Chain A
Amino acid sequence: MPEIREGEVGLVLGSTTSTTQEFRVVLHEDEYLQLDDLVVVRTHVPKIGEVATYGIVTEVEAEYEGTQFASDTRRVAVDGTLPAEKSRTAVVQVVRVLPELWVAPDSGQPVLRATGAERERALYVDEMGSGGVSRALPVGLTRDDEPVWADVDFFDGTKGAHMSISGVSGVATKTSYALFFLRCLTSHPEILGKSAKNLRVLIFNVKGEDLMFLDKPNRNLGDEARSKWTRLGIEPAPFPSVSFWAPESGREGIPRSGARMEGVQAYRWTPREFVDRNLLPLLFTDAQDVRQQLTFVGERVARQLRRWANDVAGEEGALVLRDPFVTGEDPPGPVVAKPGERVVRNLHDLVEAIGEYLEPENGLEEADQRWTGRAAGGTVSAFMRRLYGAVPRVGDLVRAGPSRLVDRTREAVTVVDIHQLHEAAQRFVVGALIQEVHDEKEGRGRFPLSVIVLDELNKYAPRDGWSPIRDTLVDIAQRGRSLGVILIGAQQSASRVDPDVLSNASLRVSGRLDAAEAERAEYGWMLPSTRARARLLKPGTMVLSQPAIPAPTMLTFPYPPWATRPEEAAPEADPFEGL
């Protein structure tokens, strides 16, 4: 037997053709290849010299060579009457040819496992970055704990932006991966360079209290997970800089949060902020609202509110509505409410005040055309009904008093809790904050970068229907690269998300998919074998597609060093100790 080279696992199969896309490997008896393994083959090309073909294993096969009938297996394996040879082969998808000369690897050439520098070349790590500065960010591990890299150029807006994460819910991988990715992002300033400076992340806590302990160590973190984090070049510690925000409970400054009270700030908008920031349209985000032309009325009313609103002296954030034609002569600044004049101190007051113009109570007066435009009476009534309907759902979020806006500049990561809010209120908060990030960056250049993590993207940017949030998200998806606003969107099914939002994401990640979902065109970036496996992925395993590598990469990510539940938060020193 001729000697087998170190690292050689088999030979390029010669009984079927090799192509520039795919070839097969017949494995040596005491070697193996598994899915996602990386291999390299060297082929001598006439007139050129040696060409290295790098590939990724997409399927592994075994059979008895020389058997014809299904029953032959028994003759070979049980009866021991039929001689046959066990043959094991692997199917390899070509990912790179160096130098770039597109020839098929020669049959019979030795196939080597790609390790070390060869592995990095197979994953295009040498091409990530320019001018000697690497932009390869570790974003996961392979099954054998080797790092997988992503080209940050395709995330921070240099060449592309945004990340889209898909996967069935309940496996808890989408948000987990988003957080893991953020941790990688914020832990490698040397790779991020300019993008790392003052990087701000906005993330919403939608379900349970998963994200309310990002700054607390996880007591369940084991040594194995620790070493995995270390392999990624990241210290296994919770997020160092996080601020937590929960909706105000109705009592001044007291947040309505669950298990965690300490370190959580209350947020709400004053009527003045509500009007100035044009938040009224965000109360009309239901798909039905568009059909009924309510958004049209809403826009007009919002415009009028901005013109008619006057601050009230001595009451921070409160308003009175006055006709600007009448008050035009008044000095600017807060006014004193006249007796009997309605002072708007919360959403209910505001709705009532609007109602005075749109649906006069006594029923004799006509609706004020300056407020309704030419909308039909029915539409105006529907608008008012919807507005009244919003009061109990969103009401607590709008109240006069000292400003309690979410301050995203306080820490690197801002967690906004919305999990206890009604869905309409969730949409309101998300819409308001995304709009805020968007407007703030408009015309200010890319840096510092703002990252928005948004789960259930299909709710905010659905494929069908329109909403003001969807508008903003589409704009971020399309122009976010230059705005410096990066979206990490997650959804159960990409097929239900606006295609503009999806197609602008340079990095695509998928966890386990529903079988029918996996077959949809939105997952065309997966190989057929990847699609088949996407139904079976375990929590903690994802598929990553990035423009820098022509084949999707399977990766795992380690257990988080931050707590995701109150029980996981490591106990702090007992305050009653010694008493």
Chain B
Amino acid sequence: MRIAVQAWAPDYGSELDMLRPGEPTREEVDTSCEQRGWEAVAPGDRAAVEASEFVFVDGVRRADARLFLSFDGEGPLAGLAASVGVGAVACDGALGSRPRPARVLETKVLRLLAAAGGREVELAAGAGLEYRALPVEGFTVDELDRKVHGQMRDAEAAIALRHARDDRVVFVDGPLAKMAPGPRRVVGVIKSHSAVYLEPPEDALVAELGCGERTPIFFFGAPHRPRYSWYLRLCPPDPTLHSWHGIIRCEVPAAHTVESAVRLADCSTAVLVGYASPAHWDKRAPQNLVPIAGLERHLRHLLGDRELAYRLLRGAARRAGEEGEHVA
């Protein structure tokens, strides 16, 4: 028997949540689209990457307070006051000269008050803490959380699309999901793996990838979200850890041609290893890329002090109650 400890700190969940032996993929996956043998693809040529900047987009969210909303004596409905921060960082992509420092291109902070039952509730808790209404059709706490998450994804998508340009490659943290970037150079970077896409014997290749190597691209997701995807490893394999250590999955929408998708895949293998975080540096190393970790830190900072937000929310709730509405 061999025991491997997950490289990520346990408070960040699991890198891998697909360890159900023999479970088949739920997707129709085409592994032949790149028209090459199913074997590891060597890292792309860095010099062949045409981009003056790489842009990294990410978002953070935080539950500031769970609320219960009562209207005219009716039983309480679930509410959630949440803060969301999204932003983009640009890093120099051109080779040959010393890069400029990474710079934050844009940040945006949202204060949302998700209310069950489609209710519209706003709450001004203080300067910079004006929570705007986010009606949610469902009633469960889970549905509120998903709605807030969706808002974050929407905001990320808007930023990613705004900063996508021909001379840039945009890497978005997480799946592209609702984003429809079309053939623009926007790549989703997925850090943890919960769905099974490849089946034996093809999935074995992922565990065998070397540093900077990738699988050939594969196609899935039709008809709703057809996309090309590939796995790549960000660090040298460590025999003391599990075999999927340092693996990320990237995806681009099917609006790309196979050639264009392959170019982006080679770009990702040429570039992303250089942004991988060292083990001591981040709790989700190496998958949490350095610019993204830096951006997240910056965004969390912009969300402000959590305790202060909580205190001000309680005060605002009390005042709202005195005016008739009941927020607890």
Contacts and interface: CB of A to CB of B under 8 A. Distances in A.
Interface string A57-77: 000000000100101000111
Contacts of B101: 76-77, 80, 83-84
Is the interface on chain A under 10, 10 to 19, 20 to 34, or 35 or more residues? 10 to 19
B290 interface: yes
Contacts of B274: 79, 81
- Of the candidates A77, A82, A83, A84, the one having the most CB atoms from chain B within 10 angstroms of its own CB is A83
Interface in B245-288: 274-275, 278, 280-281
Nearest to A77: B101
A81 B102 contact: yes
Contacts of A80: 91-92, 98-102
Chain B at the A interface: SS class: mixed
Nearest to A80: B99
A117 interface: no
A342 to B, nearest CB: 92
Contacts of A77: 101
Nearest to B104: A83
Interface stretch (B7-15, B141-149, B291-299): B291-299
Contact of B294 (A71, A78, A83): A83
A425 to B, nearest CB: 69
B229 to A, nearest CB: 25
B281 A81 contact: no
Interface string B180-209: 000000000000000000000000000000
B99 A82 contact: no
A66 B291 CA distance: 12
Nearest to B280: A69
Nearest to B290: A81
Interface residues of B, number: 23
Contact of B102 (A69, A71, A83): A83
Contacts of B293: 82
A82 B290 contact: yes
B225 interface: no
Contact of B103 (A66, A75, A83): A83
A82 B92 contact: no
Nearest to B87: A83
A82 B298 CA distance: 11
A386 B59 CA distance: 91
Given A66-B301, A69-B281, A82 B98 contact: no
B301 A82 contact: no
B294 A79 contact: no
Interface string A238-249: 000000000000
Interface string B293-317: 1110110010000000000000000
Contacts of A81: 91, 102, 274-275, 290-291, 294
A317 B322 CA distance: 107
B109 interface: no
A63 to B, nearest CB: 14
A76 B295 CA distance: 12
B85 to A, nearest CB: 14
Contacts of B290: 75, 79, 81-82
A69 B103 CA distance: 19
Interface in A13-47: none
A76 B294 CA distance: 10
Given A66-B301, A75-B290, A83 B99 contact: no
Contacts of A78: 98-99
A79 B273 CA distance: 13
Contacts of B280: 69
- Of the candidates B91, B98, B102, B278, the one having the most CB atoms from chain A within 10 angstroms of its own CB is B102
A393 B135 CA distance: 104
A183 B283 CA distance: 68
B60 interface: no
B294 A66 contact: yes
A85 to B, nearest CB: 8
B89 A83 contact: yes
B295 A83 contact: yes
Contacts of A69: 280-281
Contacts of A76: 101-102
Contacts of B99: 78-80
Contacts of B301: 66
B22 to A, nearest CB: 40
A327 B92 CA distance: 108
A69 B274 CA distance: 18
A69 to B, nearest CB: 6
B171 to A, nearest CB: 12
B221 to A, nearest CB: 31
A19 to B, nearest CB: 22
Nearest to B99: A80
B62 to A, nearest CB: 18
Interface string A79-115: 1111110000000000000000000000000000000
B283 to A, nearest CB: 12
A75 B292 CA distance: 13
Nearest to B100: A80
Interface of B: 89, 91-92, 98-104, 274-275, 278, 280-281, 290-291, 293-295, 297-298, 301
**A-B interface, 4 closest residue pairs, ranked by CB to CB distance from nearest:** A80-B99, A82-B294, A83-B102, A81-B290
15 contacts: A66-B301, A75-B294, A76-B102, A77-B101, A78-B98, A79-B274, A79-B290, A80-B102, A82-B102, A82-B290, A82-B294, A83-B101, A83-B294, A83-B295, A84-B294
Given A66-B294, A69-B281, 6 more contacts: A66-B301, A71-B281, A79-B99, A80-B98, A81-B294, A82-B102
